[in-house]
Homo-oligomer: A and B are copies of this chain.
Amino acid sequence: MPAINLAIVGVGKIVRDQHLPAVAANAGYRLVAAASRHGKVDGIDNFTSIDEMLAAVPAIQAVSLCMPPQYRYEAAAKALAAGKHVFLEKPPGATLSEVEDLASMAAARGLTLFASWHSRYAPAVEAAREFLAGTRIRSMRVAWKEDVRQWHPNQEWIWRAGGLGVFDPGINALSIVTRILPRPVFATAATLEFPGNREAPIAASITLTDAQGLDLVAEFDWRQTGRQQWDIVARTDAGEMVLSEGGARLSVDGVRVHDEPEQEYPMLYRRFAELVASGRSDVDTAPLRHVADAFMLGRRTVVDDFHD
């Protein structure tokens, strides 16, 4: 299979940290261009807009869209209209409805649309899923607590309406939870804490359940200093399962059962190449839907102003 001529749009931290190394290590891709208002990728053609790039480099077959979600629909629609396959960073858009629209456009044109959820490819996620499938879950507690100043320093877009705030990392937890649980879940209550000077929440708590009455609470907090926490703990008939480090490690009753090196973005790009090769799309909006549900259902409280 010949390599896919790939372009990347929105060259920021996640592109440099994850996309470029994953693409460079995968012989199935040839990175041919990038477009970004500010960032550049060394050694390839760079443009300041996707329009210029699509016009100048017709050899592009697929694009990875990594700009903030508020700007993703327009770029995706242009890429699909130009006949390109599209890889969407998470979250796949600023609204569920725009993602539905993109999925329809891709289907109508026979193109691949991939709504990527990198945390689902964390090393121990599949092992956790298999463990939970074989037992009864008594309760599940999700704690995604990190220091926003460390992980999103001066990222203004993330605090603006549509930027999701603490749900930007929280949606990673939801992408794992919706993968490892045996049945669909839905929120029954939520609390969202908004700093007085920001449009997006700095902390959130969601109570969820499923058709069997699952006891599930997810807590997201961006004010965590000291130990950073990305843990999912399930009390089950087969013992206490701890999926920690954002899905990287799995232990049951304190015994480590799974611990492998992290390969999330390499796996995402392998998955995208498979989808392109087989002419399929993968657009699961469930994690974003749970965020939208939490916003719709949630009680809002105003907390201390936040300054970077």
Q: Does A283 interact with chain B (Cβ within 8 Å)?
A: no
Q: Which residues of B contact A299 (CB under 8 A)?
A: 161, 199
Q: Say whether B161 contacts A189, CB under 8 Å.
A: yes
* A190, closest chain B residue (CB): B161
Binary interface encoding of chain A residues 105-117 relative to chain B, with 1 for a CB under 8 A from any of its CBs, else 0 = 1000000000000
Q: Say whether B211 contacts A96, CB under 8 Å.
A: no
Q: Does A223 interact with chain B (Cβ within 8 Å)?
A: no
Chain copies in the assembly? 2
Partner of A96, one of B94, B162, B190, B292: B292
10 A-B pairs with CB atoms under 8 Å apart are: A94-B296, A95-B297, A96-B296, A97-B186, A101-B184, A161-B299, A194-B300, A292-B293, A292-B296, A295-B295
Q: Say whether A98 contacts B199, CB under 8 Å.
A: no
Q: Once bound together, how far apart are the Cα atoms of A300 and B210, in whole Å?
A: 30
- Size class of the contact patch on chain A: 35 or more
Q: Say whether B184 contacts A95, CB under 8 Å.
A: no
Could you tell me the distance in whole angstroms from the C-beta of A284 to the nearest C-beta in chain B? 12
Q: Does A258 interact with chain B (Cβ within 8 Å)?
A: no
Within 8 A of B (CB), among A214-259: none
Q: Say whether A296 contacts B300, CB under 8 Å.
A: no
Shortest Cβ-Cβ A-B pairs, 9 listed: A97-B186, A292-B292, A95-B293, A98-B186, A295-B295, A295-B296, A161-B299, A292-B296, A162-B297
Q: Say whether A186 contacts B101, CB under 8 Å.
A: yes
Q: Does A52 interact with chain B (Cβ within 8 Å)?
A: no
Task: Count chain B CB atoms within 10 A of each CB in A77, A291, A297 and give the residue with the most.
Answer: A297
Q: Once bound together, how far apart are the Cα atoms of A151 and B148, in whole Å?
A: 44
Within 8 A of B (CB), among A166-185: 184-185
Q: Say whether B184 contacts A100, CB under 8 Å.
A: yes
Q: Does A187 interact with chain B (Cβ within 8 Å)?
A: yes
Partner of A300, one of B98, B290, B300: B300
Q: Which residues of B contact A96 (CB under 8 A)?
A: 96, 289, 292-293, 296
Partner of A104, one of B77, B161, B184: B184
